[in-house]
Amino acid sequence: MDYSIGVVFATRPNLKNLQSILSSLAEQTYQNFKVYVLIDQKITRKEFDEIQKASLVWLKNIQDKVKFVSNISNPDFRGEHNVSYIRNYGLKIAKEDFIQIFDDDEVFQKDYLHSMLNFWLDEFNKREKDFVLVPTILFRDTN
Protein backbone atom coordinates (compact mmCIF):
# COMPACT_ATOMS: atom_id res chain seq x y z
CA MET A 1 0.00 0.00 0.00
CA ASP A 2 1.18 3.52 -0.79
CA TYR A 3 0.63 5.41 2.46
CA SER A 4 0.06 9.16 2.50
CA ILE A 5 1.84 11.46 4.91
CA GLY A 6 0.49 14.79 6.16
CA VAL A 7 3.30 17.22 7.00
CA VAL A 8 2.19 19.86 9.49
CA PHE A 9 4.19 22.86 10.65
CA ALA A 10 3.52 26.30 12.08
CA THR A 11 5.30 29.45 10.98
CA ARG A 12 5.25 33.15 11.93
CA PRO A 13 5.95 33.32 8.84
CA ASN A 14 9.66 33.58 8.39
CA LEU A 15 10.32 33.51 4.62
CA LYS A 16 13.88 32.24 5.06
CA ASN A 17 12.64 29.29 7.13
CA LEU A 18 9.78 28.69 4.70
CA GLN A 19 12.21 28.56 1.81
CA SER A 20 14.41 26.03 3.61
CA ILE A 21 11.68 23.64 4.73
CA LEU A 22 9.63 23.79 1.51
CA SER A 23 12.71 23.30 -0.66
CA SER A 24 13.69 20.35 1.52
CA LEU A 25 10.22 18.81 1.15
CA ALA A 26 10.25 19.36 -2.62
CA GLU A 27 13.39 17.19 -2.82
CA GLN A 28 11.95 14.20 -0.94
CA THR A 29 12.23 10.80 -2.61
CA TYR A 30 8.87 9.74 -1.11
CA GLN A 31 6.28 11.93 -2.82
CA ASN A 32 2.92 10.78 -1.43
CA PHE A 33 2.49 13.64 1.02
CA LYS A 34 0.61 16.87 1.59
CA VAL A 35 2.00 19.88 3.45
CA TYR A 36 -0.06 22.06 5.79
CA VAL A 37 1.66 25.41 6.42
CA LEU A 38 -0.09 26.92 9.45
CA ILE A 39 0.52 30.66 9.68
CA ASP A 40 0.21 31.33 13.39
CA GLN A 41 -0.39 35.05 13.36
CA LYS A 42 -3.14 37.20 11.96
CA ILE A 43 -2.20 38.51 8.53
CA THR A 44 -3.83 40.58 5.82
CA ARG A 45 -4.96 39.26 2.43
CA LYS A 46 -2.01 41.07 0.85
CA GLU A 47 0.48 39.38 3.21
CA PHE A 48 -1.14 35.98 2.59
CA ASP A 49 -0.89 36.44 -1.20
CA GLU A 50 2.76 37.55 -0.90
CA ILE A 51 3.65 34.46 1.14
CA GLN A 52 2.01 32.16 -1.39
CA LYS A 53 3.63 33.94 -4.34
CA ALA A 54 7.12 33.83 -2.77
CA SER A 55 6.68 30.15 -1.92
CA LEU A 56 5.90 29.16 -5.51
CA VAL A 57 9.58 29.59 -6.33
CA TRP A 58 10.61 27.02 -3.70
CA LEU A 59 7.81 24.52 -4.20
CA LYS A 60 9.03 23.26 -7.57
CA ASN A 61 7.13 20.02 -8.26
CA ILE A 62 4.98 20.01 -5.10
CA GLN A 63 2.82 23.11 -5.59
CA ASP A 64 -0.39 21.05 -5.58
CA LYS A 65 0.67 19.33 -2.33
CA VAL A 66 0.87 22.46 -0.19
CA LYS A 67 -2.01 24.09 1.64
CA PHE A 68 -1.48 27.42 3.38
CA VAL A 69 -3.72 27.85 6.39
CA SER A 70 -4.29 31.26 7.96
CA ASN A 71 -7.03 33.50 9.25
CA ILE A 72 -7.50 34.51 5.57
CA SER A 73 -7.85 31.04 4.02
CA ASN A 74 -9.72 29.40 6.92
CA PRO A 75 -11.99 31.77 8.89
CA ASP A 76 -12.33 29.27 11.76
CA PHE A 77 -8.54 29.25 12.20
CA ARG A 78 -7.43 31.91 14.61
CA GLY A 79 -3.77 32.81 14.51
CA GLU A 80 -1.73 33.99 17.48
CA HIS A 81 -2.19 30.89 19.61
CA ASN A 82 0.41 28.71 21.24
CA VAL A 83 2.15 26.04 19.21
CA SER A 84 0.03 23.26 20.76
CA TYR A 85 -3.19 24.85 19.50
CA ILE A 86 -1.67 25.38 16.06
CA ARG A 87 -0.42 21.79 15.79
CA ASN A 88 -3.72 20.38 17.04
CA TYR A 89 -5.49 22.39 14.35
CA GLY A 90 -3.14 20.86 11.79
CA LEU A 91 -3.90 17.38 13.14
CA LYS A 92 -7.61 18.13 12.78
CA ILE A 93 -7.44 19.12 9.11
CA ALA A 94 -4.82 16.60 7.94
CA LYS A 95 -6.51 13.48 6.57
CA GLU A 96 -3.49 11.45 5.49
CA ASP A 97 -2.55 8.01 6.85
CA PHE A 98 0.46 9.36 8.74
CA ILE A 99 1.05 12.76 10.26
CA GLN A 100 4.51 14.26 10.63
CA ILE A 101 4.84 17.42 12.74
CA PHE A 102 7.79 19.69 12.09
CA ASP A 103 9.09 23.07 13.18
CA ASP A 104 9.48 25.61 10.40
CA ASP A 105 13.26 25.78 10.82
CA GLU A 106 13.92 22.13 9.99
CA VAL A 107 15.45 20.70 6.84
CA PHE A 108 15.81 17.04 5.91
CA GLN A 109 17.77 14.60 3.84
CA LYS A 110 16.06 13.57 0.61
CA ASP A 111 14.99 10.18 1.98
CA TYR A 112 13.68 11.44 5.34
CA LEU A 113 9.96 10.80 4.79
CA HIS A 114 10.65 7.38 3.27
CA SER A 115 12.91 6.41 6.19
CA MET A 116 10.39 7.60 8.76
CA LEU A 117 7.60 5.70 7.06
CA ASN A 118 9.64 2.48 7.18
CA PHE A 119 10.46 3.13 10.84
CA TRP A 120 6.81 3.68 11.66
CA LEU A 121 5.70 0.54 9.83
CA ASP A 122 8.23 -1.52 11.80
CA GLU A 123 6.91 -0.06 15.08
CA PHE A 124 3.29 -0.55 14.04
CA ASN A 125 3.85 -4.19 13.12
CA LYS A 126 5.55 -4.87 16.47
CA ARG A 127 2.62 -3.47 18.45
CA GLU A 128 -0.43 -4.28 16.31
CA LYS A 129 -2.33 -1.15 17.40
CA ASP A 130 -4.63 1.27 15.55
CA PHE A 131 -2.76 4.30 16.84
CA VAL A 132 0.96 4.56 17.46
CA LEU A 133 2.93 7.61 18.50
CA VAL A 134 6.65 7.35 17.88
CA PRO A 135 9.26 10.07 18.35
CA THR A 136 8.43 12.04 15.21
CA ILE A 137 5.52 10.52 13.32
CA LEU A 138 1.88 9.83 14.12
CA PHE A 139 -0.50 7.38 12.49
CA ARG A 140 -4.22 7.16 12.87
CA ASP A 141 -6.84 5.08 11.10
CA THR A 142 -9.13 7.57 9.33
CA ASN A 143 -11.62 5.02 8.01
pTM: predicted TM-score of the whole model, two decimal places: 0.84
Residue bearing the bigger pLDDT, 37 or 77: 37
Q: What angle do CA 16, 22, 25 make, to 5 degrees?
A: 145
Q: Is 11 left (phi over 0), alpha (psi -120 to 50) or beta?
A: beta
pLDDT confidence of residue 70? 86
pLDDT 10s digits, 64-78: 999 998 888 877 776
State residue 47's pLDDT score: 87
Residue 138 CA to residue 132 CA, distance in Å, equals 6
pLDDT of residue 39: 87
